[in-house]
Chains A and B, each alone.
Chain A
Amino acid sequence: MAAFFRKVIELIVYLAMLIAVLIAFTGKGLFIYEGF
């Protein structure tokens, strides 16, 4: 059960990070992932 909850929390944390990335993605800079 503890492992399950740990996984759920992990999922929430990574989802939150992903949403923050999607909001903040600007495309500025020469970095190949951004300036494409």
Chain B
Amino acid sequence: MSYMLNMNALVAMFGMIAALMLTRFWKQNKRVLLLFFNVCFLFVFSEKLFAFAVAYASANYLAYVALCRARAGRKALFIALIALNVAVVAALRLFAMGELDLPGLDAVSDVIITLGSIYTLLKVIDALYFAYYIGREGEAPALDYVNYLLFVPTFTSGPILKFRDFIADAQKPYAVSAADFEWGVKRIILGLFKKVVLVAGMTAVFNDVLAREELRTADSLFLMVWFYALIYFDFSGYSDIAIGFGRLMGYTVPENFKQPFLSPTLTQYWRNWHATLGDWFRDHIFMIFSRRYTSRRAAAALSLVIMC
């Protein structure tokens, strides 16, 4: 693959931003053009991923609408839909890992369709919570729902968007000021630098040390700290790129790493490290179960289960 070909994705993203800027007089531009962009991007990236993602998003939209409109058996439907989604994604992941043999799936499946599946699942569950608690008034158009699930900048690696915030953003007309543009471009460059330059260099150093015949204690300690820094730059780099592109496309993507190493306490540190995942677990699991099991031991056990 040539060097220029690899830039296609970035060029496509900037092309989309240019199209949004040129059509800003059209109030629906960032909703309609974004749908077009999201599905085209996935189609060019992988036809299998495109087919799976569109089918999965469409089926889940029907489920979401059904839950919004349901009058009886809401709780049972809510739990069943979450369980079904978890089962489907878990089966696909296990199949991709070679741990599960599903007759007939070989012909249609591919590892590629599991790309971003966990993040998509977390977003589907967030939308189902929204439908369950808000009901009919929370029903959003299919256009925005599909955009929410297939939003290209966050599709593979987060940050995890909140359904409520994304739908609210979709209602606002496209508006990116010169300051926003500068901030977004700087954020993308910073993210690419972390991911493409820093992480690549740090990985080479890590592998060199690991390849030594004899590892001393100092080497092991170095590897431990080095790998931790590597993960930070890798993941925060992804997030920087997604946040930058999201802002330039007119959507606010939440921060994932809020300077975790400057946190005054360990609790604060974990809140600032991969914040959107922590928030997701707090809002969708911890808050629900901690209402029922109020003891400190139950809360501690629940925290351990979530961390695992």
Contact = CB atoms under 8 A, between A and B. Distances in A.
B218 interface: no
B115 A21 contact: no
Contacts of B115: 30, 32
Interface string B174-212: 000000000000100110110111001000000000000
A13 B14 CA distance: 21
B6 A34 contact: yes
Given A27-B5, A32-B155, A21 B196 contact: yes
B40 to A, nearest CB: 12
Given A32-B155, A36-B6, A36-B9, A21 B238 contact: no
Nearest to A23: B197
B1 A27 contact: yes
A11 to B, nearest CB: 10
B261 interface: no
Contacts of A3: none
The secondary-structure label for the interface of chain B is: helix
B36 interface: no
Contacts of B294: none
A31 interface: yes
Interface in A7-36: 14, 17-18, 20-21, 24-27, 30-36
Nearest to A34: B6
Contacts of B1: 27
B10 interface: yes
Interface residues of A, number: 16
B6 A31 contact: no
B9 A32 contact: yes
B303 interface: no
Interface residues of B, number: 29
A27 B6 contact: yes
B156 A21 contact: no
B7 interface: yes
Interface string B33-65: 000000000001100000000000000000000
A31 B157 CA distance: 8
| Most chain A CB within a 10 A radius of its CB, from B115, B193, B200 | B193
B98 to A, nearest CB: 17
B236 to A, nearest CB: 14
Interface string B99-117: 0000000000000000110
A3 B238 CA distance: 30
A4 to B, nearest CB: 15
Nearest to A14: B189
Nearest to B241: A33
Contact of B193 (A21, A34, A35): A21
Contacts of B9: 32-34, 36
Interface in B247-279: none
13 contacts: A17-B190, A21-B197, A24-B197, A26-B196, A30-B156, A31-B238, A32-B45, A32-B115, A32-B116, A32-B155, A35-B45, A36-B12, A36-B45
Given A14-B190, A32-B45, 16 more contacts: A17-B193, A17-B197, A21-B197, A24-B197, A24-B200, A25-B6, A25-B192, A27-B5, A27-B6, A31-B157, A32-B116, A32-B156, A33-B10, A33-B13, A36-B8, A36-B45
